[in-house]
Structure 1
Amino acid sequence: MKTGYWVICLCIYSFSLAAQPVKERLAKAVDILQSDPQMKHALLGLQVINAQTGDKVFEVNAQTGLAPASCQKIITSVAALELLGPAYRYETLLGYTGKISRNTLQGDLYLLGSGDPSLGSWRYDSTREDRQMQELTKILTQSGIRKITGNLVGYSGKWEQETLPGGWIWDDIGNYYGAGTSALNWHENQYDLILRSGKNIGDTVDIIETRPALTGTNLQSQLLAAAKGTGDNAYVYLPPFASQGFVRGTIPVEEKAFVISGSFPDPALQTTSTLQQSFELAGIRLQGGVNVSYDKAVPQVQNLGKLISPRLDSLNYWFMRKSINLYGEAFLKTIAFEKTGKGSTDKGVGLVKKFWKEQGISSAALQIIDGSGLSPQNRVTADALVQALQYARGRSWYPAFYESLPFFNQMKLKSGTIGGTKSFAGYHTSKEGVTYTVAIIINNYDGSAGEIVKKMFRVLDTLK
């Protein structure tokens, strides 16, 4: 009887809530959220507007800058689509200096990068590692080259040598989601680390191999075995350009081939070395060495051929759907290169902030230092996210942008997660046919991320 009573009360409450104007429903839901123990020391930023009219429906701390986590990708994504264009493509060139005589290149062979984040990616058939290496090797053999007397040089000088933005934390750097970006990227600058654990809790964990093999880097395991069912609590500590790294934390006991993923410390060198290995398998002899150049002056080469990336709007789909931080950092540097001639994070940030200022978003509302939102030092307002989403609605490429947004809580929302932060931003059309643009950010919540997400969704449910 008691159970039936409470079910009836809940139904009455739900019907009553549904009958109220959306503003009142939001106010009640936000009051409940803010009075929750998880929110005692937290800060909420929320804005909801009518997407068709632009009228504000409800807001709380909408002008307060908060760490947005991956919802910051909206800022980068929209700016990139507008400043570079949805049809933008990256080109990776293969060329040489010297001369070709009797199947021998008497000179150096160059692979010139432009920052393509999809080079060697498994997300497209056309960019698969084996396919692209075969293409580059075919270009060489069709040119009649079977031997190279000089060096194989990966040219990465169109972008700055620094692969990581400032503000990224040590626990992220070295792991796949903390991959840096170079003018030459490969396999999304990601590798898999295969691990084997002992039978007992506290046993050491062995590294079996990396796939693909790392170039010029050794990893030392400091991992221990933990109880069954504890999952992946392993972290790679490997700074850019380092030759020595460490893997710390735990994985469950009795694992024979447990997989975690790390990031290449030197993407350009990894790319160039992979190409050399492909040449070797094809019987093409390299007499010189493999190296990377960051010279400002672009080498004057005779072009042999090139690889062309998928369109930007397609790359953006994966950037948003799978929240690939590498793509955001690449887009930022690409904007800088195309507008200033040098791909750098700082220049890219400046250009993105300038673009949004011209659209009416104050620079103070976008205190950003990267393109992905991974740094906990970023600060973005809920209002800025909503303005960016509204701007996108009026552009010709909006359908592709809308499609790139994941589904959460039966809504088209980008999500964001870093330590102490959860965020969602996107669009939803209610059963009455009203489309809302919304951004909600919580910083410094207590307890489980899963529980705070459920409570955030209860707020967003009022828009259904």
Structure 2
Amino acid sequence: MALNSCIRVVFHLVLIVFFLITSLHAQPLEQKINLAYQQFERNPMLKNGIASFTVLDAKTGAVVFSKNGNIGLATASTLKTITSAAAFYILGADYTYQTQLYYTGQIVDSVLTGDIVIKGSGDPSLGSDRFERTKESLLLTQWTHAIVKAGIKKINGSIVGDDLLYGGQKAGPRWIWQDLGSYYGAGISGLNWRENLVDVHIQPGKQVGAATSLRSTVPNVSYLKIVNEATTGSPGSGDKVYPYSAPYSSLIYLRGSYGIDLRKPIQIALPDAAYDAALRLQLNLERQGISVRQPATTGELLKLSGKGVPEEGKTLLIHQSPTLADLVYWFNQKSINLYGESLLMTLAREKGQISDTDEAADILRDFWVTKLGLEKGTIKIFDGSGLSPENRVTTMTMAKILAFIRREPWFTAYYKSIPVYNGMKMKSGTIGGVLGYTGYQKAANGTELVFSLLVNNYEGTAYNMRQQMFKLLNVLK
């Protein structure tokens, strides 16, 4: 009898546990999200911060859950989701940039009395190694071949990088000084080149705190003066070197620390991409025995000297960029700010306005306000990449945009561009004190969801905050 009693007790306990689990799984999705969010917002890391979380039914647009969904918060790189979506709408998935190589003057006895001009169209991928057709070595070979084919053996002029489409090279006016010289803060130009980056190889000292030494740059940018003040960091501390410069700087300071066990280059922003493109072509021509009489120059430098880029000339070659769909893939997958700012300015130009970044951002905002009937206060942006700490967008607006675009013919290409984190299709965002995730997820009950989660002014490490955010987002699975 005692054994039977024990069996009955165990059986009842098993039933209770079963019904509890069944009840939990049977909870409406909204209730499960609400319980998970309540636990999330009680985290001490948010004691002096704020979080916003919005979840929508992707098919109907109905609100599944929203807390602080109408409060504008800094977005970091989650802003790229709405910049890239607008690019698909305005430019089209098959849009390409055209970079023209032409010459001015006359060719007599294989001597060109004139200039070779590389006319930029704002292509962010020119010279990038992300695509076979855009690689620097291939482009220089093609341009050189086109010049040779035209019968030119000597140039009594210059190689000119025409960067005047947007008034020279510019960085986001709302970006902070510490970011401008870093790879992710590279300014954009009408003639971008090699994603406007330079690799810098640093040798750590023999002990923590010792000075580091500058070994080399790739490519050689000896026309710039790089002052290395970086010190040797502790093992595992990684790259904490900040390059201080800005567009058209000729002096760059490296400050911070470089881990004693680190063996990889740091990347810094190229202050004048158009000049570097013109210089690389000149050097390549000279290696092929074609002399260039005058030094490489740019449209901006010619303008400053009171001259201008010749408007008329004979086309030697037109380089066509990869399609917008291909560019957006890397833009979102690798969160390349240069692509975001280039797309932003292209959108403005397509709308008939060549303007500065602030005005271009207004065009992007107004596009979405009109398209979805949003209130202007729900989307206040100052760039296309999310690097500005002044950007403010509500999670409700971001989620609405992601739900709205699912009906578009280009959505498959857009969806492909969104990275995978925590087993979920979502774009991340990180700047000082800001973390965010925005994307798509199918719930266990089959409901297609779109969501946006932003956290501002959290305490503790970014890693720990991410783990808490993933724990909350897991309830959508």
Residue of structure 2 equivalent to 1:59 = 66
Q: Contact conserved, 1:382 with 1:441, CA < 8 A, in 2?
A: yes
Change (3 A) 1:16 1:223: farther
State the AA in 1 paired with 2:225: N
**1:365 and 2:378 matched:** yes
Deviation (angstroms), 1:431: 2.6
Q: Which has the larger radius of gyration?
A: 2
SS in structure 2 at match of 1:289: coil
Q: 1:142 aligns with which of 145, 149, 160?
A: 149
State the distance in 1 between where 2:421 and 2:71 align. Answer: 24
Question: Residue in 1 aligned with 2:269?
Answer: 263
Distance 1:198 1:28, change over 3 A: same
- 1:345 corresponds to 2:352: no
Deviations 1:60-80 (A, max 9, x none): 111111000000001211111
The answer to which of 427-436 and 440-449 deviates more is 427-436
> CA offset at residue 93 of structure 1?
0.5
Q: Does the alignment pair 1:292 with 2:298? A: yes
Output one character per residue of 1:198-239: Cα deviation in whole Å (capped at 9) or x when no partner.
Answer: 211221100011111226311111111122222111111112
C-alpha change, 1:343 and 1:313, in structure 2 (3 Å) is: farther
Q: Does 1:80 align with 2:87?
A: yes
1:91 aligns with 2:98: yes
The one-character-per-residue Cα deviations of 1:70-104 (angstroms, maximum 9, x if unpaired) are: 00001211111111111110111011111112211
Pairs aligned (count): 456
Contact 2:361–2:384, Cα closer than 8 Å, also in 1 = yes
Q: Which amino acid aligns with 2:336?
A: I
Q: Which runs of 5+ in 1 are unaligned?
A: 1-8
Amino acid corresponding to residue 268 of structure 1 in structure 2: A
User: Matches of 2:314 and 2:198 in 1, distance apart?
Assistant: 33
How far apart, CA to CA, are the structure 2 residues paired with 1:61 and 1:162? 38
Q: Which amino acid aligns with 1:334?
A: T
CA distance in 2 between counterparts of 1:105 and 1:10 reads: 87
SS of the residue aligned with 1:340? coil
After superposition, the Cα gap between the structure-2 partners of 1:107 and 1:422, relative to the gap in structure 1 and judged at 3 Å, is same
- Give the C-alpha shift of residue 433 in structure 1: 1.6
SS in 1 for 2:180: coil
- For residue 286 of structure 2, the aligned residue among 280, 283, 299 is 280
- Structure 1 residue 414 displacement after superposition: 0.5
How far apart, CA to CA, are the structure 2 residues paired with 1:11 and 1:324? 49
Which of 318, 322, 346 is the aligned partner of 1:334?
346
- Is structure 2 residue 316 aligned with structure 1 residue 309? no
The one-letter code sitting in structure 1 at the alignment partner of 2:299 is: S
Q: Is the 8 A contact 1:198 1:254 kept in 2?
A: no
Counterpart of 1:246 in structure 2 is 253
1:211 aligned partner: 218
Aligned in 2, Cα 1:304/1:215: closer, same or farther, shift over 3 Å?
A: farther
* Contact kept? 2:163, 2:169, Cα under 8 Å: no
Kept in 2, the 8 Å contact 1:158–1:337? The answer is no
1:446 paired with 2:452, answer: no
Deviations 1:358-388 (A, max 9, x none): 1122221111111100011111110111121
- Are residue 388 (structure 1) and residue 395 (structure 2) matched? no
| Structure 2 runs not aligned, ≥5 long | 1-15
Kept in 2, the 8 Å contact 1:412–1:427? The answer is yes
User: How far 1:122 moved relative to its partner?
Assistant: 0.8
Specify the alignment match of 1:6 in structure 2.
Answer: none
Matches within 5 A, 1:215-234: 216-234=223-241
Superposition deviation, residue 351 in structure 1: 1.6
Pairs within 5 Å for 1:148-159: 148-159=155-166
Q: Structure 1, residues 29-69: CA drift from partner, whole Å, max 9, x if none?
A: 11101111001111111110111111110001111110000
Partner of 1:429: 442
2:120 alignment partner in structure 1: 113
Match of 1:235 in 2: 242
Q: 1:68: which partner in 2?
A: 75
Mapped contact 1:392–1:401 kept (Cα < 8 A): no
1:321 & 1:298 partners in 2: Cα distance? 39
Does residue 103 (structure 1) correspond to residue 116 (structure 2)? The answer is no
Cα distance in 2 for partners of 1:215, 1:397 equals 44
The answer as to whether partners of 1:93 and 1:306 remain within 8 angstroms in 2 is yes
1:190 CA displacement = 1.0
Mark the CA change 1:341 to 1:110 in structure 2 (over 3 Å): closer, same or farther: farther
Stretch deviating more after TM superposition (229-238 or 411-420): 229-238
Relative to 1, partners in 2 of residues 1:149 and 1:13: Cα closer, same or farther, differing over 3 Å? farther
C-alpha RMSD over aligned residues: 1.9
Aligned mates of 1:102, 1:344 — CA distance in 2: 45
| Distance apart, 1:391 and its partner CA | 2.3
How far residue 260 of structure 1 moved from its aligned partner, in angstroms, is: 0.9
TM-superposed CA distance for 1:425, in Å, is 0.5
CA contact (8 A) 1:121 1:188 kept: yes
Q: 1:297 to 1:129 in 2, by over 3 A?
A: closer
Q: Distance in 1 between matches of 2:222 and 2:87?
A: 32
How far residue 420 of structure 1 moved from its aligned partner, in angstroms, is: 0.6
Question: Counterpart amino acid of 1:267?
Answer: A
SS of residue paired to 1:54 = coil
Match of 1:5 in 2: none
Is residue 196–residue 254 contact of structure 1 (8 Å, CA) maintained in 2? no
Match of 1:319 in 2: 331
**Pick from 136, 147, 169: which aligns with 2:176?**
169
TM-superposed CA distance for 1:159, in Å, is: 1.2
In the alignment, the residues of structure 2 paired with residue 98 and residue 402 of structure 1 have an alpha-carbon distance, to the nearest angstrom, of 48
After alignment, is 230-239 or 418-427 more displaced? Answer: 230-239
